[in-house]
Amino acid sequence: MTRKSESKLRAGAYASSVGAAVLLAACLGVEVAQAQAIMRTPTISVPSRTPTISPSIAARAVSIDRGSRPMTTARIPSPRIGSTPVLPYARYSPNLYPSCSAPYRDADGECLAQPNAGGEGSGKSGKKAASKGRGNNTPVAVNQRFFGGEFVAEIDGALSVTEADELARRHGLARVASENFPLIGATFGLFRITDGRPAETVRREFAADGSVRSVQPNFRYALQDQKSAVPVEGDPAQYALAKLRLPQAHTLVHGANVTIAVIDSGIDAKHPELANSIADNFDALGSAEGPHIHGTGIAGAIVAHAKLMGSAPEARIIAIRAFGGTTGSAESSSYIILRSLNYAAEHGAQIVNMSFAGPKDAVIERAIAATAARGLVLIAAAGNAGAKSPPLYPAANPNVIAVSATDQQDKLFTASNRGNHIAIAAPGVDIFLPAPDGKYQMTSGTSFSAAYVSGVAALLLERNYTLKPEALRMTLAKTARDLGSPGRDDLFGDGEADAFAAVMAIPADSATPVAAASGTTKREDADKRRNEPGIRAIEQPALSSAGDKAAISQADRPATR
């Protein structure tokens, strides 16, 4: 090989090596650039697209989505993810009775135990839930209506206590309590399942026994207040007084010599606002609980007479404790309400205030009818379950004056029930009332609207002791201040109560009886007086109408809206 050829060969090899090096460098350069690009990209934490689901809901989702297609999160409707509140109405109050959607009402329109007792769903979704079931939600919802495993039964009044206990044992029950109720002329007992059998099976077998007249669940009742604010001191303006025109009415009457039974939670009889106003006490629960904020407030709306002013400050109160519980939301039952109504009727009450609500209840309906037949005026809170709720009881009973709630601007309380059974409205929003231990509270609810109207009813009875319940109801309706659409409506009934106009519409009775001695509020004296000659019964006012309202003296009416 010549020197020239060797030189060329070396040059070619060098060029090849240089090209390879350049190519390698180029390759390395590309790889480094990619790495830098990744490092410069911000680290992003991408959360899992699979939602966190509680075990019970996850199991329900799996059972729904079994089939040929795999389950994906997109197929789970968003409302099913997370825990659905059992009581969606609790935004108004911890003590409200749930509303009821159409698919869960019986032929009479009454609410049955529905899986989702919120009343927020449509009929379609309700039916779907009914057909597929809602796992463990069903018994929870059912127990909102009544106490699980308990029955109220009418039994043969001739049975002794021992025989009643034996009757219960034969059917796997324990007799919790039983007594004769003169109000309805029957003996009722409270029974509880002891052997764990299904309630419906036990009910059918028990009802078939010859010693049993009727059996029903022990329904649950709730006080109708919104969650109260922290008790405070002081005396803010009571706008309810002006709205009801109570100062004007009090120039004529104060509710003296009239007895009002307050079926509620415990009342603080030692509160300065209630001093000397509690004529009698009855604990239908047989409990050792102290005063409760709700019952004390209700009594204050009626008879407060220190810093505050109730609607009938000189009325007498029969304090009946029917609601109890270790928390702020006291509750009661069919059997306890029956005991309470029986006591009120047997111990001289002329008016019964019922600031609570529950389902339609055959036993309580019977007791209400018997109480009304004795001539007592029955007044109840319409309920705080809102616009979608079916009628609640006892307010929806035709013998009861149902009261809805208004605020300081004469607007309906958002949570107030509606319906053609609403008789009248009264202030019930941000009401300043007494609370236990000498304190005060600011609270809301149809409970307090009903209490104000019970006091107005006492003013009318002091004005004319012979006033019959239906005449009293129609007087309230005829003299009410119209709110909302002209004439009667489902929000305010005949309008907001006007105590002064109502009192002025009643002819004064010059033979008002002298008050009974403290602790003796029996009705015998009242019945005797009504039968004496010279005691005149007024004619029942005509049914109210828009024309009747317009005919009331303009001096007794506020300016036109």
- SS3 assignment, position 454: helix
pLDDT exceeds cutoff 80 at 542: no
What distance in Å separates the CA atoms of residue 118 and residue 500, rounded to the nearest whole number?
Answer: 40
pLDDT at position 222 is 86
In this prediction, residue 46 carries a pLDDT of 36
Q: Say whether 447 is catalytic.
A: yes
Q: Encode burial over 263-300: b for 16+ CB neighbours within 10 A, e otherwise.
A: bbbbbbbebebbeebbbbebbbbeeeeebbbbbbbbbb
Residue with the bigger pLDDT between 97 and 353: it is 353
Q: How many residues does the chain have?
A: 561
Establish whether 292 is a catalytic residue: no
Catalytic residue among 294, 305, 347, 421: 294
Catalytic residue of the set 264, 280, 498, 509: 264
Task: Look at the pTM and tell me if it is higher than 0.85.
Answer: no
Alpha helices (runs of H) in 353-486, residue ranges in sequence order: 362-373, 446-463, 469-479
Question: Does the active-site annotation cover 294?
Answer: yes
CA distance linking residue 400 with residue 396, whole number of Å: 7
Residue 311 burial (CB count, 10 A): 29
SS3 sequence of 375-411:
CCEEEEECCCCCCCCCCCECCCCCCEEEEEEECCCCC
Helices 446-463 and 469-479: angle between axes, nearest 10 degrees? 110
Mean pLDDT of 219-244: 70
Nearest to 115 by CA among 131, 146, 98, 137: 137
Does residue 475 contact residue 504 with C-beta atoms inside 8 Å?
A: no
pLDDT range class, residue 237, cuts 50, 70, 90: low
Q: Which of 123-137, 154-168, 349-363 is the least confident region?
A: 123-137
Whether residue 299 contacts residue 435, with contact meaning beta carbons closer than 8 Å, is answered with no
Residue 306 CA to residue 324 CA, distance in Å, equals 27
Fold of the CATH domain 224-505 = Rossmann fold (3.40.50)
pLDDT at 12: 53
**Residue 219: strand pairing partners:** 146
Which among 447, 449, 454, 544 is annotated as catalytic?
A: 447
Report d(CA 492, CA 497) in Å as an integer: 10
Residue 73: predicted pLDDT: 33
Summarised one tens digit per residue, pLDDT across range 418-474 is 999 999 999 999 999 999 999 999 999 999 999 999 999 999 999 999 999 999 999
Least confident of 360-369, 411-420, 437-446, 549-558: 549-558
Q: Is 169 helix (H, G, I), strand (E, B) or coil?
A: helix
Highest mean pLDDT among 5-14, 93-102, 215-224, 362-371: 362-371
Strands 146-155 and 186-193, bridge-based pairing: antiparallel
The pLDDT value given to residue 289: 87
- Determine phi and psi for 116, rounding to 5 degrees: -115, 100
Q: Give me the CATH topology for the region 146-219.
A: Alpha-Beta Plaits (3.30.70)
Q: What is the pLDDT of residues 522-539, one digit of tens each?
A: 333 334 333 433 332 333
Domain spans of the chain, in order of start: 146-219, 224-505
